[in-house]
Amino acid sequence: MFTSVDDVSARLAETGYLASPAVATTVFLADRLGKPLLVEGPAGVGKTELAKAVAQVAGARLVRLQCYEGVDESRALYEWNHAKQLLRISAGRDESWDATRTDIFSEEFLLPRPLLTAIRGDEPTVLLIDETDKADVEMEGLLLEVLSDFQITVPELGTVTATRRPFVVLTSNAGRELSEALRRRCLFLHIGFPEEELERRIVRLKVPGLGEALTESVVRVVGALRAMDLRKAPSVAETVDWARTLLALGAGTLDEAVVRESLGVILKHQDDIQKAAAKLDLDAL
Amino acid sequence: MTGVAERITGLVGALRAHGVRIGTGESVDAARAVEALGFADRELLREGLAATLLHGAAQRAVFDPVFDLYFPRGVGGPAEGTADREALRDRLARALAADDRALMARLAAEAVDGLGGYGSSPGSDGWSAYQTLERLRPQTLLARVRADVRGRGGGGAAFADRLLDDEIRRRIEEFRRLVGAEARRRVAERRGRDEIARRGVRPTADRVDFLSADRDQLAELRRTVWPLARKLATRLAARRRRAARGTIDLRRTLRSSLSTGGVPMRPVLRRRRPVRPELVLLCDVSGSVSGFSDFTMLLVQALHDQFGKVRVFAFVNRLDEVTGLIDHGRADPDGLGARIRAEATLTGWHGSSDYGMALGEFAERYGDAVGPRTTVFVLGDARTNMNDPNLPAVRDIARRARRLYWLNPEPRARWGTGDSAAPAYAELAEMHECRTARQLGALVSRLLPV
Ligand SMILES: Nc1ncnc2c1ncn2[C@@H]1O[C@H](COP(=O)(O)OP(=O)(O)OP(=O)(O)O)[C@@H](O)[C@H]1O
Ligand SMILES: [Mg+2]
């Protein structure tokens, strides 16, 4: 898929994703070694966005399994369309049960879910298993199976094997420690907060009208906030939001009044706002 | 590069010695990564090896210095070095003002070479980062760098300028790190990288002994409280779910119902809502063990919504309830210890620990806090300073409580030595060795009631 690490960076940049060297290298290797990529990091640093960007670059379809507490096989793998099956059963009253059963467990009544969908297609696919840490531990066993063999068995239909392995990205917010076994299957990438230079580039790209001086100040203040040990440190998403807000406010420079008024865009908790205001020497909020 | 395979093997060995679990599969992947990436760019190589060998972000803190030893920036000292301290300081001030990382790295190499060597002739016995930094004193450059940046008009707009001092401090911190890495590299050339990679690289915070951790390490540990708490909360939730089995799998029920012609044969079970357990913590906060108990208190407070009720008591030789202080500890975890010691009554006529007295006071004044739903944890080294351990008080607490655990930050081999009453207490309370955050995490997820 890629010829070099630079190739990864350049092509991701074309889609609007600016990759750090760590991101570009790991994506390159995931492709070369054919291993799933486990991306961990705080909220809003571009984990999900990365998978989308890779799909776009590769001209691949993006299949997404969004995990949540309670997600199970029937949401991840496949499900039989019970309603339709029951209808079929009652429609065929005079048929033999055997005939009915063969019929209702056929393709027509199958609802494929993301994992099966990703494995079945012939076209290039990026499989995004998003927020894996939100799923229950039981789900991991299933993922492990699928990611080892890239095949899924539907007892009534037989085994489906991937003719073309999808490029797999798992994301996690480290809300829960994923199992050692699952980690071993994957290349590991931690995306933290970006270096100043990279973050300035992201702001320039996403909020082009902001102006160089203001862009620089925004990134500096965000950097200072991140060093403060807050409950929720501002992420790239917040930096971009803040930059947009400042642009909308028509702020020319960053001064105390502007910061005081817009701090709520970057910080979500009241105690964080107070702590930051104190450390930044803002007058009473 | 010569001996790539040996380098990878060495790197893997050193990481394993630091507790990173790496299987052969990962080593093979690492070799393939090196092959795919080549040696042209050392930073890409670093990222590639990290991606194949590591499984978590916390491991990165040991990975980077170890990588620097097995894939060093270069060999030997800098081409041109100087022992002229003032000249070095001048150049360093300019590099810091410009935030020029590459130049800072070169200056770190020159500084270690020129100022860090020790032995009968400089460098004959080794290189010391400590000595280099003591002589160079980069922290004293702050005012100069600030003036320099402002002089160039680089202080930024009026507002951002107030961030400047902290930014410069972070750059100085980065320089100190570079000096540390450079000194390790030079020493490793002399003494062998395998040894330095094992002994010269700080362990990850979760593997540092609470009792020997320094201020920085304790601060680093406190920053891990929230991630650790979240991790533990999910483990507790999983245990709770397992304990409250009784839900059914709707899909399977319906599916199996198809074989009976669509008639669901199994009833739906309702999950009962369990009563949340209660927790009482008794914490020795005297100097020797305060790092341990402060960390544990913060962790328990971070987990408090897992429980019906959490009450925390601190003691040295007198005991006082600090539940309220802990609740506020969230906003300022670093100040928690000081606040407890300032606001609670913890000592009587003298300042050293007296477990017997404190536990007696608890049983007497707060006995009601413990009931059949309460799990009690005592945190401390059980060193009573030769006072009476007051076993009847402990027996009384154990009798009232659902469970009584004792977490001891001392290595098991020291229990019972000197004034330690650990063996006697261990007869009445289930005592566990708890020396590191890693051990604490494992114990908490196993012992906490759900
Ligand atoms: N390197 C980057 N290049 C371009 N945009 C980025 C980058 N990193 C983050 N962003 C921006 O930040 C926003 C948040 O990213 P995203 O939703 O992918 O975060 P996330 O890490 O998946 O967060 P969460 O854990 O909350 O799901 C995106 O809309 C994207 O515009
Ligand atoms: Mg996301």
Residue B45 counted as domain residue: yes
Q: Do B52 and A213 touch (CB under 8 A)?
A: no
Q: Which atom of ligand 1 is nearest to the CA of A42?
A: 25
C-alpha distances in Å from residue B74, one per residue of A137, B38, B77, B190: 45, 17, 8, 14
Residue with tokens 């290039």: A124
Residues in chain A: 285
pLDDT at B256: 60
Of B15, B40, B70, the one marking the end of a domain is: B70
Instruction: Name which residue sits closest to atom 29 of ligand 1, judged by CA.
Output: A237
What is the identity of the amino acid at B261?
A: G
Which of these, B29, B56, B60, lies nearest to B46 by C-alpha position? B60
What is the identity of the amino acid at B274?
A: P
Query: Cβ contacts of residue B143 below 8 Å, gap of 6+?
Result: none
Residues B114 and B18 in one domain: no
Q: How far is the C-alpha of B60 from the C-alpha of B57, rounded, in Å?
A: 6
Instruction: Using the predicted structure, report yes or no on whether residue B244 has a pLDDT greater than 80.
Output: no
pLDDT at B330: 63
Instruction: Using the predicted structure, report yes or no on whether residue B327 has a pLDDT greater than 80.
Output: no
pLDDT at B380: 93
How many beta carbons lie within 10 A of that of residue A209, not counting itself? 10
Instruction: Using the predicted structure, report yes or no on whether residue B114 has a pLDDT greater than 70.
Output: yes
Q: Which atom of ligand 1 is nearest to the CA of A171?
A: 22
- pLDDT tens-place string over residues A236-273: 999 999 999 999 988 888 888 888 888 989 998 998 99
Residue B195 phi, psi (nearest 5): -70, -45
pLDDT at A179: 85
Residues with a CB atom less than 6 Å from ligand 1: A 16-18, 41, 43-49, 171, 173, 202, 236-237, 240
Q: Are B316 and B347 in contact (CB under 8 A)?
A: yes
Q: Are A180 and B55 in contact (CB under 8 A)?
A: yes
Q: Are B70 and B11 in contact (CB under 8 A)?
A: yes
Residues B20 and B92 in one domain: no
pLDDT at B1: 56
- Residues, Cβ < 5 Å to ion ligand 2: A 48
Residues in chain B: 450
The token pair at A165 is: 């392995």
The token pair at B120 is: 């009968």
Rounded average pLDDT over B134-143: 95
Residues B42 and B181 in one domain: no
The token pair at A156 is: 């009534």
Residues B46 and B165 in one domain: no
Distance B439 CA to ligand 1 centre (A): 34
Confidence at A92, pLDDT banded by 50, 70, 90: confident
**Segments in chain A forming alpha helices (H):** 5-14, 21-33, 47-58, 73-76, 82-91, 97-104, 114-120, 137-149, 180-185, 196-206, 212-226, 236-249, 256-266, 270-279
- DSSP annotation of B57: G
- pLDDT tens-place string over residues A5-43: 999 999 999 999 999 999 999 999 999 999 999 999 999
How many beta carbons lie within 10 A of that of residue B443, not counting itself? 17
Residues B183 and B239 in one domain: no
Beta bridge partners of A160: A152
Residue B212 counted as domain residue: no
Flag the least confident range among A127-141, A149-163, B264-278. Answer: B264-278
Instruction: Name which residue sits closest to atom 27 of ligand 1, judged by CA.
Output: A43
pLDDT at B224: 80
User: E strands of B110-212, at which residues?
Assistant: 117-118, 126-127
Residues B46 and B99 in one domain: no
Using an 8 Å CB-CB cutoff, list chain A residues near B159: 217, 221, 253-256, 258-259
pLDDT at B155: 56
Q: How far is the C-alpha of B38 from the C-alpha of B129, rounded, in Å?
A: 31
Residues B62 and B143 in one domain: no
pLDDT at B7: 92
User: Mean pLDDT for chain B?
Assistant: 87
Sign for the CA dihedral angle at A186, A187, A188, A191 comes to negative
Domain range for B387: 225-245+275-447
What is the identity of the amino acid at B18?
A: H
Answer whether A216 touches B (CB < 8 Å): yes
Q: How far is the C-alpha of B405 from the C-alpha of B403, rounded, in Å?
A: 7
Higher pLDDT, B212 or B264: B212
pLDDT at B154: 60
CB pairs < 8 Å spanning A and B: 137
Residues B408 and B307 in one domain: yes
Q: What percent of chain A lies above the pLDDT cut of 70?
A: 99
- pLDDT tens-place string over residues B152-195: 776 556 778 888 999 999 999 999 999 999 999 999 998 888 98
Q: Are A19 and A209 in contact (CB under 8 A)?
A: no
CATH homologous superfamily, domain A5-74+113-190:
P-loop containing nucleotide triphosphate hydrolases (3.40.50.300)
DSSP class per residue in B204-265: PGGGS-GGG--HHHHHHHHHTHHHHHHHHHHHHHHHHHHHT-----HHHHHHHHHTTTT---
Instruction: Using the predicted structure, report yes or no on whether residue B399 has a pLDDT greater than 60.
Output: yes
pLDDT at A99: 81
Instruction: Using the predicted structure, report yes or no on whether residue B150 has a pLDDT greater than 60.
Output: yes
Interhelix angle for B101-115 vs B164-191, to 10°?
Answer: 50
C-alpha distances in Å from residue A57, one per residue of A14, A60, B232: 8, 8, 38
Confidence at B264, pLDDT banded by 50, 70, 90: low
Residues B96 and B143 in one domain: yes
Residues B382 and B438 in one domain: yes
Rounded average pLDDT over B204-217: 85
Where b means 16+ CB within 10 Å and e means fewer, B337-373 reads beebbeebebbeeeeebbbbbbbbbbbeebeebbeeb
Query: Cβ contacts of residue A215 below 8 Å, gap of 6+?
Result: A200, A203, A204, A207, A243
Confidence at A68, pLDDT banded by 50, 70, 90: very high
pLDDT at B317: 87
pLDDT at B250: 57
Q: If DSSP codes are grouped into helix, strand and coil, which group holds residue B372?
A: coil
Q: How far is the C-alpha of B444 from the C-alpha of A118, rounded, in Å?
A: 39
Confidence at B342, pLDDT banded by 50, 70, 90: confident
Residue B199 counted as domain residue: no
Residue with tokens 């002739």: B121
Q: Do A217 and B157 touch (CB under 8 A)?
A: yes
- pLDDT tens-place string over residues A204-244: 999 999 989 899 999 999 999 999 878 889 999 999 999 99
Higher pLDDT, A258 or B123: A258
Higher pLDDT, B87 or B448: B87
Q: How far is the C-alpha of A285 from the C-alpha of A278, rounded, in Å?
A: 9
DSSP class per residue in B43-56: HHHHHHHHHHH--S
Q: How many domains, chain B?
A: 3
- DSSP annotation of A177: P
Residue B11 counted as domain residue: yes
Instruction: Using the predicted structure, report yes or no on whether residue B78 has a pLDDT greater than 90.
Output: no
Higher pLDDT, B231 or B130: B130
Give the dihedral of Cα atoms A274, A277, A282, A285; nearest 10 deg: -30
Rounded average pLDDT over B217-223: 83
- pLDDT tens-place string over residues A162-197: 889 999 999 998 777 788 889 999 999 999 999 999
Answer whether B163 touches A (CB < 8 Å): yes
User: E strands of B14-107, at which residues?
Assistant: none
Instruction: Using the predicted structure, report yes or no on whether residue B284 has a pLDDT greater than 70.
Output: yes
The token pair at A50 is: 């990365």
Rounded average pLDDT over A85-102: 80
Residues B351 and B443 in one domain: yes
pLDDT at B258: 59
Query: Cβ contacts of residue A235 below 8 Å, gap of 6+?
Result: A42, A43, A44, A45, A193
Residues B47 and B148 in one domain: no
Please identify among residues 317-356 of chain B the ones whose CB lies closer than 8 Å to any CB of chain A: 330-331, 333
